[in-house]
Structure 1
Amino acid sequence: MTLGDWIHIVLLALIQGLTEFLPISSSAHLILPSQLLGWPDQGLAFDVGVHVGTLVAVVYYFRAEVWRMTRASLAALGGQSSPEGRLGWLVILATLPALAFGGLCNTLVEHYGRSILVIAATTLIFGVLLGWADIKGTRVRSNETLGVRDALMIGVAQALALIPGTSRSGITITASLMLGFDRQSAARFSFLLSIPVIVAAGSLKTLELMRSGSETQWEMVSVGAVLAAVSALACIYLFLKWLDRVGMIPFVIYRLLLGAVLLGVWFVS
C-alpha cells in the first residue's frame, strides 16, 4: 500500500467516526471524496471495519444503559416490566421500519440515491427541518414518556436515512424534537437506536464480503476500525456535553453551506 492509500484510509475512518453520530450524514461525507476527489473505494472489508469501530464506540459509551436495557428486556419476556425493559423493546420497534425499507429499497437507493444532486437536496431539506424542529420544538418530554407511537414515528423517520445526505442521527433527532422531546433525550435515543442499525448494516456487509471471496488487507481494516472507534467515542462525548449549550443551529448552518457547495459543483460539472 502506498502513502496515498494510508492517507485515504485515515481520513475516511475519521470521517466515518466523526460524522456517524453528528446530524450531518456520514454516508454523504463518505461518498463525496470519491465523487469530488476521485478517491478509490476502499472496499467492503474497510466498510465492515469502520462500522465495527463506530459500533464499539456507541456500545462502550452507553454500556451501562445497554446492559440494563438488555437484561430488563429479557426479563420483560417473563412478565417483569420496567422502564429499562420498555425502552429496550421500543428501540427494537423503532428499528423495524428501517430494516423493512432497507430490504425493499436498498438496491433502488444504491442506484439512484448516490448522486451529488440527491445528496445536496437531502442535505438542504433535512437541514432546514432540523433547524425548524430545534427552534419550534417544546423540548418538555424525556425518554421516560416515550411510547409506541413515538417509537414508530421516529423509526419511520430513520428509514429515510437510507437516502444519502439525510443523516440517520439528524432525522431521528429531528423527529424526536418535533414530538416534544428535549435535546438530550432526542440525542440519546438516536444513539441507542443506532446500535441495532449498525449491527444490521455491518452484518449485511460482512455477508457480502464473505460471498465475494476477495482478499482482506487486515492492517487497513484494523487501522480504520480503531480510528473510527476513537473518533466516534470522542464525538459522542463532546456532542452530548455541548448539545444543550449550542443546540442544532451550528449543524444546520453547516448543512446549508455544504448543500450550497454541492449544488454549485453539480451545476458547473
Structure 2
Amino acid sequence: MLWHIAITLGIVQGIGEFLPISSSAHLILTRWFFDWDPIIKYLGENTDIVLDVALHVGTLLAVLIYFFRDWLQLLTHGLSKGIKTQEGKMFWYLVAATIPGGIAGLALESVIEHFIRSQILVIAAGLAIMGIVLYYVDKKADQIVGFEEITFKQAMLIGIAQALALIPGVSRSGITMTIGRLLGFTREAAAKFSFLLATPIIAGAALKQTPGIIHNIANPLFLVGTITSAIVGLISISFLLKYLQKHNFTIFAIYRLAIAALTIIVYTIRGA
C-alpha cells in the first residue's frame, strides 16, 4: 500500500493549494523528483485517479470547514436577498468570478493535461516568473481595499486571471492574490477572497469525479489522502491569514525561485 506516497501528496496538496506556490506544480514535481509514477501505475490504472480525487476532496473539506460560517452567510443572503446586502453581493460576485475559470478549464483541460503537465521546464518557468511577478506587485501595490469593499469589476478581473492557473507553476492562489494586490487589496483581503473563490473551483473538480468518490469512499488510500490534505489544508489557511497580518509575500516569491532553480538543476543532471 502506498501509505507514504498518499500522505506525502496529501501534505503537498494541503500546502500548495492555499499558499501561493502552485499545488499542481508541486504534485507533479514531487512525483517526478522521487520517480513515483511507475510505482503508482504498477499498482493499477485507477490508483492515480484515487489519489487525485482524494486530494481534491481533502482540500474542499478544508476550505468548507474553515469558511463554513462565511459560506453560510453568503449563501443565505445571496439566495434570499440577492444583492441587497454586502454578503449577498459577495456571493454573486464569487459566482460570476468563477465562470471564466470554469469555461477555460473545460475548454483547455485536455491540452494542459496531455502537453503542458509533462513539460518540467515549463513548470519551472511558471514557478519562477510568477514568483517575480508576485514579489514586484506585492512590493509596489497599495493596501487600500478591504474585503467588504471589493467591487464586481475587481472580482471579475480576478476571476478571469484565475484561468491562468491551469498552467502548472502559475498557481491559482498565486495569480488571484497577485491580481488582488495589483488592485490595491490588503494582503488579508486578497487571501480571503482567493480562498472563497477557490471553493467552487475545487468543488467542481471534486464533483467531476463523483463516480470515483463513490467507488473509492472506503478505499484506505483514498481516506488517507483525503484526511491528510484536509488537515494540512486547514493549517495552511489559518497560517497564511495570520501570517499576512504582519508580513508580505516575499518569502513565497523566494521559495518559488528556489524550487524553480532546483528543478532546472535536477533536470539538467538527469539529462531528461
TM-score w.r.t. length of structure 2: 0.91
* Pairing of 1:16-165 with structure 2 (within 5 A): 16-40=13-37, 41=40, 42-77=47-82, 81-114=84-117, 115-165=119-169
Q: Deviations over 1:176-216 (max 9, x none)?
A: 00000000000000000010000111122335x38xx9877
The number of residues matched between the two structures is 261
Provide the rounded CA distance (Å) in 2 between the counterparts of 1:230 and 1:215. 20
Gap change, CA 1:128 and 1:12, over 3 Å in 2:
same
What residue is the counterpart of 2:44 in the other structure?
none
1:185 maps to amino acid: A
Q: State the identity %.
A: 39
Q: Any unmatched runs of 5+ in structure 2? A: 41-46
1:17 maps to amino acid: G
Are the aligned partners of 1:53 and 1:228 in contact in 2 as well (CA < 8 Å)?
Answer: yes
Provide the rounded CA distance (Å) in 2 between the counterparts of 1:165 and 1:174. 14
Partner SS state of residue 244, structure 2: helix
What residue is the counterpart of 2:230 in the other structure?
229
1:191 aligns with 2:195: yes
TM-score w.r.t. length of structure 1: 0.92
Provide the rounded CA distance (Å) in 1 between the counterparts of 2:31 and 2:60. 24
Provide the rounded CA distance (Å) in 2 between the counterparts of 1:204 and 1:118. 27
Provide the rounded CA distance (Å) in 2 between the counterparts of 1:239 and 1:62. 14
Cα root mean square deviation, aligned:
1.7
Gap change, CA 1:148 and 1:54, over 3 Å in 2:
same
Q: Deviations over 1:74-93 (max 9, x none)?
A: 0134xx61000100111111
Provide the rounded CA distance (Å) in 2 between the counterparts of 1:202 and 1:53. 9
Provide the rounded CA distance (Å) in 2 between the counterparts of 1:85 and 1:224. 34
Provide the rounded CA distance (Å) in 2 between the counterparts of 1:255 and 1:261. 10
Are the aligned partners of 1:58 and 1:232 in contact in 2 as well (CA < 8 Å)?
Answer: yes
Q: Deviations over 1:159-182 (max 9, x none)?
A: 100111111101100000000000
1:226 maps to amino acid: I
1:67 maps to amino acid: L
Provide the rounded CA distance (Å) in 1 between the counterparts of 2:225 and 2:266. 29
Equivalent residue for 1:14, pick from 1, 11, 15: 11
Please list every run of at least 4 consecutive aligned residues from structure 1 whose deviation after the TM superposition is greater than 6 angstroms: 213-217
1:100 maps to amino acid: I
Q: CA deviation at 1:264?
A: 2.1
